[in-house]
Chains A and B, each alone.
Chain A
């Protein structure tokens, strides 16, 4: 199975999930990231999920794990680009992603890692459809 590529931009590791990952693929990515974090001194990890159509408990757990692992290597993790439908579903599923930082998009995620902004939690591109209906 193809592995999700990890790009290095300066001292940030960027992962963009573009396919519907099997559970093994999720675990592989987790390991690859830990490997990279241990070998270079990265300031942070950005996981771009703008192409991801669903986040279930397995992927959600990966975000939390990567966030914790990156902390051990003195790096921060930001998940960016969550689709509104995914966010609504996550909340209803009961997945809080408490220790995972999120940002609207890649640019904001990188800003957070540069430390110019400290906001955490969900940020919406627009209010969730069910609220405005």
Chain B
């Protein structure tokens, strides 16, 4: 996936307030690359879901959010990383409505629908990294 440049920031995710910070940071980059209001809302909602997963299931971690460019597009990339338990059954975790806790089971599957690129790396016992990109059109 396209790498982040200098226009990026890293946030630790260790509490509820960090999820709010992630939303705010994602919003500000989304505005910088002039995503439409609907696309801003989709991206920010996706980052909110992923940051909360990092906190709830990953036991905390970090987010890296910033601007990405390729030959003809600009976008916002957000990556969420934790060293938690990992996801044993990815297909199940990506299923709408499946939760191992008491959520709605919509965070992962919903976030994937809300963004353009979605990448999930997980290993049981090592942790999980989810990276998403929303491109401006």
Comparing A38-46, A90-98, A114-122, the segment that makes contact with chain B is A90-98
B10 at the interface (CB under 8 A from A): no
Q: How far is the CB of A39 from chain B (nearest CB, A)?
A: 27
Within 8 A of A (CB), among B1-43: 16-17, 19-20, 23-24, 27, 36-38, 40-42
List residues of A (66-83) whose CB comes within 8 Å of B's CBs: 83
Number of A-B contacts (CB under 8 A): 76
Decide if B41 touches A60 in the complex (CB within 8 Å). no
When A20-B24, A93-B113 are in contact, do A56 and B41 touch as well, CB less than 8 Å?
no
B 37-52 contacts with A by CB, 8 A:
37-38, 40-42, 44-45, 48-49, 52
Query: What residue of chain A has the Cβ atom nearest to residue B104's Cβ?
Result: A57
Per a CB cutoff under 8 Å, which of B17, B23, B24, B114 touches A93?
Answer: B114
Chain B interface extent, by class: 20 to 34
CB of B39 to closest CB in A, whole Å: 9
Closest to A88 in B: B38
Q: B67 → chain A, closest Cβ, in Å?
A: 20
Chain B residues contacting A85 (CB-CB under 8 Å) are 37-38, 40-41
Q: Is the pair B38, A130 in contact by a Cβ cutoff of 8 Å?
A: yes
Chain A residues near B38: list those with CB within 8 A.
Answer: 84-85, 88-89, 129-130
A21→B44 CA distance, assembly (Å): 14
Interface contact B42-A92, CB-CB below 8 Å: yes
Asked if B85 lies at the interface with its beta carbon under 8 angstroms from chain A, I say no
Q: Which residues of A contact B52 (CB under 8 A)?
A: 23, 56, 58
| Contact partners of A88 in chain B: CB under 8 A | 38, 41-42
Q: Is A86 in contact with chain B by the CB < 8 A criterion? A: yes
**Chain B residues with CB under 8 A of A54:** 23, 41, 44-45, 48
